[in-house]
Chains A and B, each alone.
Chain A
Amino acid sequence: MTTTAAQVHKEDGYNFAYLDEQTKRMIRRSLLKALSIPGYQVPFGGREMPLAYGWGTGGIQVTASVIGPDDVLKVIDQGADDTTNAVSIRRFFQTVCDVSVTESTAEATVVQTRHRVPETPLKEGQVLVYQVPRPEPLSRMEPRETETRKMHAYAEYGAMQVTLYEDVAHFGRIAKTYDYPAIVNGRHLMSPSPIPKFDNPKMENNPAIQLFGAGREKRIYAVPPYTSVRSLDFDDHPFEVQTWKGSCALCGSTTSYLDEMITDDRGSRMFVCSDTDFCNTRQAEAASAPDDKAAGEDA
């Protein structure tokens, strides 16, 4: 017999995972509809959370509706497990649901993320929850929701394509580097949240469940596993991800997304992996690997 929610949370006065059960049911219904219409933004009754808008209130509400006592939670902010937003959200869930937490992408069952997709490939059954500040990809072109709803309803996405073309006309290339618009399941235009465009290809045909929560705008959307996510482009200006000349200064990776770090006041800088778990894992492997190699050479 498992312990009951009432037994676990007798003291602190919160329901498991903070939200009340009726709110969770409402969000859960929205999540199922979101998975049924990939990329379509389902309106939901977003609640006021004990964090300010912009700090991941949408993602937190999605995570709170999904998470259970057996889950292992990982929270990242720009790929890092140890930055302010990640630490405070992780602590929030430890407080309101006693859930176990991890920094390892492979061990986590639920990953809440701000603006990155982990480098380590995700597996079936894992849930990736994105925090979304601006769910509507068309809002910069058309601020009226009455109009953007119609544009989504009839798949009128020409305005988005024109915006990308204006970049090509001005700069000779598509200048958008993050929050790069994508068509999901060949139908709905979706904002992937401000992840770098480097991460867009990871969303396509991912075995994991990808859920998006926007707290201020009160929208939930989803990309089911094994679903096409096509980043918009032109035949003569195909979609490309960022590349770097060097490799990560700490782990030597040439395949991960690199952040530029300023190391002193004379302009010295280094590039390191934005995904701290990925980088730490590789460093740990490298620390043990040379010994094996040396042993191999001796023999």
Chain B
Amino acid sequence: MTLQSITATSSDGTLLKPGFADPVFDAQAVFRAALLATAYPGRVIPLDRSFVAPRPFSPATAALCLTLMDFETPAWLDRQTASSEASAWLRFHCGLPLIEETATARFAVVTDALNMPRLFEFHSGEIEYPDRSTTLLIQVKSFTEGPVTTWSGPGIKDNTTGAIDGLPFWFWSDWDLNSEFYPRGIDVIFSCGNALMGLPRTIKVEA
């Protein structure tokens, strides 16, 4: 069984890029990285797997999508992602139902963070089922060269600093509002190159 040999074309005839070389072990390795990223927020968690990602995805963004998404998770894509080859790639490899509404999405994929919707436009879960909220995957330019912020909360011993580059100016003030809803609220996993950084709803960030 060699899944590498499967090829497929999108509706406009271009060749789709393959998914994981090994769907079982690659997904497991990427999930462990996502688990570490969520458990230890603010740390840069590198992936030890790599493959050719469809534009405009970085390898980490693409790997995370393959690992977490399937036909059960309605997903919203930002305009840059929806209008690129990544959209057809996600539909083929994840069987992903793509939706227009941010407010009902289980996942939202953002590659153009500067033009993303405000955080309160996503689903923050229900009071009795706060786990039904949107998980945002945001691809950013850098984990080290942006404005320095101080993070604290579960998973962080005392506090830590993050320096995520390429977020809109309102992001951290919106994040403050997000924590007001707790236990409701959205969760974020940032990706950059071939690494992940988690930002669950419990984390307080001081800009």
Chain A residues packing against B (C-beta within 8 Å): 2, 4-6, 15-16, 21-22, 24-26, 28-38, 40, 42-43, 65-69, 124-125, 127, 149-150, 152-154, 185, 187-188, 205, 207, 209, 224-228
B187:A32 contact, CB within 8 angstroms:
yes
B35:A35 contact, CB within 8 angstroms:
yes
Task: Compute how far the CA of A189 lies from the CA of B159 in the bound complex, rounded to whole angstroms.
Answer: 25
A188:B183 contact, CB within 8 angstroms:
yes
Q: What's the A-B contact tally at a CB cutoff of 8 Å?
A: 124
Contacts of B36 in A (CB 8 A): 125, 209
Contacts of A187 in B (CB 8 A): 182-183
Contacts of B67 in A (CB 8 A): 25, 28
The answer, yes or no, to whether B31 is at the interface (CB within 8 Å) is yes
Write the nearest CB–CB distance from B105 to chain A, whole angstroms.
Answer: 13
Write the nearest CB–CB distance from B138 to chain A, whole angstroms.
Answer: 15
A21:B38 contact, CB within 8 angstroms:
no
Contacts of A152 in B (CB 8 A): 128
A28:B31 contact, CB within 8 angstroms:
yes
A35:B130 contact, CB within 8 angstroms:
no
Contact of A226 among B38, B133, B157 (CB under 8 A): B157
A153:B39 contact, CB within 8 angstroms:
no
Write the nearest CB–CB distance from A14 to chain B, whole angstroms.
Answer: 11
A25:B187 contact, CB within 8 angstroms:
no
- Most chain A CB within a 10 A radius of its CB, from B31, B39, B40, B131: B39
Contacts of B32 in A (CB 8 A): 66, 68
B25:A24 contact, CB within 8 angstroms:
no
With A25-B68, A153-B127, A226-B154 known as contacts, the answer to whether A36 contacts B200 (CB < 8 A) is yes
A35:B131 contact, CB within 8 angstroms:
no
Contacts of A205 in B (CB 8 A): 157
With A35-B39, A226-B157 known as contacts, the answer to whether A69 contacts B25 (CB < 8 A) is yes
Task: Compute how far the CA of A33 lies from the CA of B68 in the bound complex, rounded to whole angstroms.
Answer: 12
The dominant DSSP class at the A interface is mixed
- Most chain A CB within a 10 A radius of its CB, from B36, B68, B202: B202
Q: What 6 A-B pairs have minimum CB-CB distances, sorted nearest first?
A: A5-B24, A36-B200, A227-B154, A33-B131, A224-B155, A224-B154
Contacts of A68 in B (CB 8 A): 25, 28-29, 32
The answer, yes or no, to whether B72 is at the interface (CB within 8 Å) is yes
Contact of A66 among B22, B35, B69 (CB under 8 A): B35
The answer, yes or no, to whether B201 is at the interface (CB within 8 Å) is yes
Task: Compute how far the CA of A33 lies from the CA of B25 in the bound complex, rounded to whole angstroms.
Answer: 22
B70:A22 contact, CB within 8 angstroms:
yes
Write the nearest CB–CB distance from A38 to chain B, whole angstroms.
Answer: 5
Write the nearest CB–CB distance from B28 to chain A, whole angstroms.
Answer: 4
The answer, yes or no, to whether B15 is at the interface (CB within 8 Å) is no
What are 7 A-B pairs at a CB distance below 8 A? Answer: A6-B22, A21-B23, A24-B31, A25-B69, A29-B73, A42-B131, A185-B202
Write the nearest CB–CB distance from A5 to chain B, whole angstroms.
Answer: 3
With A124-B40, A225-B40 known as contacts, the answer to whether A32 contacts B24 (CB < 8 A) is no
Task: Compute how far the CA of A75 lies from the CA of B24 in the bound complex, rounded to whole angstroms.
Answer: 23
A40:B130 contact, CB within 8 angstroms:
yes
Contact of B22 among A2, A31, A33 (CB under 8 A): A2
With A22-B70, A36-B200, A225-B39 known as contacts, the answer to whether A2 contacts B155 (CB < 8 A) is no
With A5-B22, A153-B127 known as contacts, the answer to whether A32 contacts B35 (CB < 8 A) is yes
B25:A4 contact, CB within 8 angstroms:
yes
Contacts of B156 in A (CB 8 A): 226
With A38-B154, A226-B157 known as contacts, the answer to whether A33 contacts B24 (CB < 8 A) is no
Task: Compute how far the CA of A29 lies from the CA of B35 in the bound complex, rounded to whole angstroms.
Answer: 10
Contact of A36 among B24, B27, B127, B187 (CB under 8 A): B187
Q: Which residue of A lies closest to B69 (CB)?
A: A25
Write the nearest CB–CB distance from B29 to chain A, whole angstroms.
Answer: 6
Task: Compute how far the CA of A15 lies from the CA of B25 in the bound complex, rounded to whole angstroms.
Answer: 11
- Most chain B CB within a 10 A radius of its CB, from A33, A154, A228: A33
Task: Compute how far the CA of A22 lies from the CA of B38 in the bound complex, rounded to whole angstroms.
Answer: 21
User: Which residues of B89-130 have CB atoms within 8 Å of chain A's CB atoms?
Assistant: 127-130
- Most chain A CB within a 10 A radius of its CB, from B21, B25, B201: B25
Write the nearest CB–CB distance from A114 to chain B, whole angstroms.
Answer: 22
Task: Compute how far the CA of A271 lies from the CA of B1 in the bound complex, rounded to whole angstroms.
Answer: 55
Q: Which residue of B lies closest to A27 (CB)?
A: B31
The answer, yes or no, to whether B34 is at the interface (CB within 8 Å) is yes
Task: Compute how far the CA of A6 lies from the CA of B187 in the bound complex, rounded to whole angstroms.
Answer: 34
A25:B70 contact, CB within 8 angstroms:
yes
Task: Compute how far the CA of A232 lies from the CA of B133 in the bound complex, rounded to whole angstroms.
Answer: 29
